A and B are shown apart, each in its own frame.
Chain A
Amino acid sequence: GENVEQHPSTLSVQEGDSAVIKCTYSDSASNYFPWYKQELGKGPQLIIDIRSNVGEKKDQRIAVTLNKTAKHFSLHITETQPEDSAVYFCAATAGFSGNTGKLIFGQGTTLQVKP
Chain B
Amino acid sequence: DGGITQSPKYLFRKEGQNVTLSCEQNLNHDAMYWYRQDPGQGLRLIYYSQIVNDFQKGDIAEGYSVSREKKESFPLTVTSAQKNPTAFYLCASRSRTNSPLHFGNGTRLTVT
Identify the A interface with B (CB < 8 A): 4, 6, 9, 32, 34, 36, 41-46, 49, 89, 91, 94, 98-103, 105-108
Contacts and interface: CB of A to CB of B under 8 A. Distances in A.
Contact of A46 (B4, B44, B101): B101
Nearest to A44: B103
16 contacts: A4-B42, A6-B42, A36-B103, A42-B105, A43-B90, A43-B92, A44-B90, A46-B101, A49-B100, A89-B42, A89-B43, A99-B97, A100-B101, A101-B31, A102-B45, A103-B101
Interface string B20-45: 00000000000101000000111111
Contacts, number: 66
Interface string B73-112: 0000000000000000010111001111111111000000
Q: Which 7 A-B pairs have the closest CB atoms?
A: A43-B103, A98-B97, A105-B42, A105-B43, A101-B101, A43-B105, A107-B42
Contacts of A98: 97-98
Contacts of B8: none
B45 A103 contact: yes
Contacts of B48: 99, 101-102
Contacts of B33: 101-102
Interface residues of B, number: 27
Nearest to B58: A102
A45 B103 contact: yes
Given A34-B101, A101-B48, A44 B31 contact: no
A56 to B, nearest CB: 18
Given A89-B43, A100-B101, A101-B33, 17 more contacts: A9-B40, A34-B101, A43-B105, A46-B101, A46-B102, A49-B100, A91-B43, A100-B94, A100-B98, A101-B94, A101-B101, A102-B48, A102-B58, A103-B45, A105-B42, A105-B43, A105-B44
A69 B41 CA distance: 26
Contact of B98 (A32, A36, A105): A32
A46 B24 CA distance: 19
